[in-house]
Amino acid sequence: MSRKSSLDAIFQTGPLPAVPSPVESLEASNGPSDGSNPPLEASNPLPAPRIRSGAVAAMGSALEHLASRAEVAEQIETGSAIVELDAELLDGSFVADRVSDATDPTLDTLVESIRESGQQVPILVRPHPSKPGRYQIAFGHRRARACRALRRPVRAVVRPLTDAELVVAQGKENLDRRNLSYIERAFFAFRLEALTFTRDVICAAMGVHKPDVSNYITVARTVPEHVVAAIGPAPKAGGPRWRALAELIRTAPPNKVDRILGDPSFQGRPTDERFAELLEALAPKADVKKVEVWKDKTGRKLARVERGDQRFILSLDEKLEPSFGNYLLGRLPELLADFKAGKD
């Protein structure tokens, strides 16, 4: 099966088959209800009604209930119906794709949206492979969290997915929604590799090529997880800035990074500001230069001096004094000796 066919099989979006209610089934068995039945004639009298005992009626009702439950179970098994699940029965994917952010305002917005309009888009889950009666989320973790906060059931499609199908579904949803930050995608790739998924599966899950996956994994290997947890997802920081930060963290003293992360003022900032603050704090400081111009007695600008952090740069205008530079260079040993003697 081609990759496209496999994805189509996982993400089939066709209309779901309607399940007729007992009333609709009864009406269908009795024929049309729009008045199109032929009139009864004496030669075709209405059959005498059958009178059911209470036990028989109860048994019939029980059989109908079991049949309905069996039909729903079959639909769940084939993934052809949207069902409502208790939010407390849902577990997250075995590979995380998001970085928690306590300052994220979008979750509250999602909660309010579901409170007012309901959960419009179902999540995708599979029966939990090691916990009977529970389900594992492929995608829709934030919707599940919002429904749990509202104490309402979660609308979900249940499909029997393999591990590879689950991560491909999880990655495709993130790719379609385009709401994972660079570092979240990097750690998603890193965790998939740690779980021994092949690069082909990782590429399919993330919709990228192998060189891109290599770049993601390199960044995730360099930036410690506790640093990412302290910064948050930083959605405005793209790949180049994260790669720059990774290099700065690699060469920085560990206590410097931890000291910045532990500052209460750092922790109270939004995630993108936390990223920018750490990047600026670790970046080498630009050499602040102070420029002076030296003039001789006639007012000629003969020399230019630049003073910086432990640097003193003297530039001579050789057009005005072509031989003065060589003279000064030849006198440097003598000048240095006089300078040291004066200090002593």
Task: Say how far apart CA 257 and CA 274 lie, in whole Å.
Answer: 12
What CATH class does 181-284 carry?
mainly alpha
Phi/psi for 308 (5° steps) reads -140, -160
- The number of residues in the chain equals 344
Beta carbons of 201 and 239 less than 8 angstroms apart: no
List the beta strands (DSSP E) in 75-228: 82-85, 90-91, 123-127, 135-139, 154-158
Phi/psi for 306 (5° steps) reads -115, 120
pTM: 0.55
Phi/psi for 140 (5° steps) reads 105, 25
What residues contact 217, with CB distance under 8 A and at least 6 apart? 186, 189, 190, 193
41 DSSP assignment: B
Over the chain (344 residues), the average pLDDT of each successive run of 10 is 42 38 33 36 39 47 50 52 90 79 71 90 91 91 90 92 88 69 90 90 89 94 91 90 93 88 87 93 77 88 83 86 87 86 75
Task: Say how far apart CA 84 and CA 315 lie, in whole Å.
Answer: 78
Q: Return the HEC string of 240-284.
A: HHHHHHHHHHHHCCHHHHHHHHCCHHHHCCCHHHHHHHHHHHHCC
At 45 the three-state DSSP class reads coil
Which architecture characterizes domain 70-178 according to CATH? Alpha-Beta Complex (3.90)
Domain-by-domain residue ranges, the chain? 70-178, 181-284, 287-324
Q: What is the pLDDT of residue 86?
A: 93
Q: Which residues pair with 44 in a beta bridge?
A: 41
Task: Say how far apart CA 129 and CA 164 lie, in whole Å.
Answer: 13
Angle, helices 271-282 vs 254-261, to 10°: value is: 150
Strands 154-158 and 82-85: antiparallel
At 128 the three-state DSSP class reads coil
Exposed e or buried b for every residue in 228-244, given b needs 16+ CB within 10 A?
bebbbbbbebeeeebbe
Q: What is the pLDDT of residue 24?
A: 35
Q: What is the pLDDT of residue 195?
A: 87
Task: Say how far apart CA 93 and CA 97 lie, in whole Å.
Answer: 9
Exposed e or buried b for every residue in 13-46, given b needs 16+ CB within 10 A?
eeeeeeeeeeeeeeeeeeeeeeeeeeeeeeeeee
88 DSSP assignment: G
* Helix (H) / strand (E) containing 187: helix 182-194
